[in-house]
Amino acid sequence: MRAFLPFYFALFAPCALAQSLPYADADNPSQAVGMMKANALTSTRLLAECSSRFPALQPEMQANHESWRATERSNLAKTEFYWDSLTKRDPMLLDVPEFVNARVLQTIQSLDNVPVEAGPVFLADYCKQHFRDLDSGVWRARTPRLYKFLDEATPIPAPPQ
């Protein structure tokens, strides 16, 4: 897992921009947890960054993000549960959120600085499309093994009341 995560995180932002490239998919449950954790972190940070730059787009992006989180509630809960276990076994994984946030900012800055006047328009389109893709469920088709592993993972027990 440790060897896979840096490779995945180094590639996921550029791959998201290149629709013609194949998407990295999980080969085992640990990778599925890592990839979903990266997706959750990315979407949260990207929502904040895109909303601050494009306030008029915020309601649509927020609605799409919330819809995706509601649809994937079970898998996101499993991800957090198993992520906690993974970080206990490998404390180096605790650095992943900082790394993901840095990659999101790097991607935003790259898109924001596209030469010519189209830079901000390109970034706005990227922001809109990211959240539309999340909400559409297209990532289930692009990364079927990730979702298969999470869908089949043991449900998280409810906390005692």
Continuous H helices in 90-136: 96-112, 119-136
Per-residue pLDDT band for 155 (boundaries 50, 70, 90) equals: confident
* Cα three-residue angle 93-96-98, rounded to 5 degrees: 135
Model confidence pLDDT, tens digit, residues 109-138: 888 777 766 667 888 999 999 999 999 999
Q: How far is the C-alpha of 14 from the C-alpha of 17, rounded, in Å?
A: 5
Going by C-alpha positions, the residue among 148, 132, 158 that lies closest to residue 43 is 132
Please determine, for residue 2, whether its predicted confidence score (pLDDT) is greater than 60.
no
Residue 46 CB contacts under 8 Å (≥ 6 apart), including other chains: 104, 108, 127, 130
pTM for this predicted structure: 0.80
Task: Give the residue extent of every domain in the chain.
Answer: 29-152
Query: How many angstroms separate the CA atoms of 88 and 92, rounded?
Result: 9
Query: What pLDDT shows up at residue 70?
Result: 96
Q: What is the pLDDT of residues 71-97, one digit of tens each?
A: 999 999 999 999 999 999 999 999 999
Share of the chain above pLDDT 70, in %: 81
pLDDT at 144: 94
Asked if the model's pLDDT at residue 5 lies above 60, the reply is: no
Average pLDDT, the chain: 85
> Measured between alpha carbons, how far apart are the two ends of the chain, in Å?
34
Query: What does the alpha-carbon distance between residue 42 and residue 148 come to, in Å, rounded to a whole number?
Result: 21
C-alpha radius of gyration, the chain, whole number:
16
Sign of CA dihedral 92, 93, 99, 101: negative
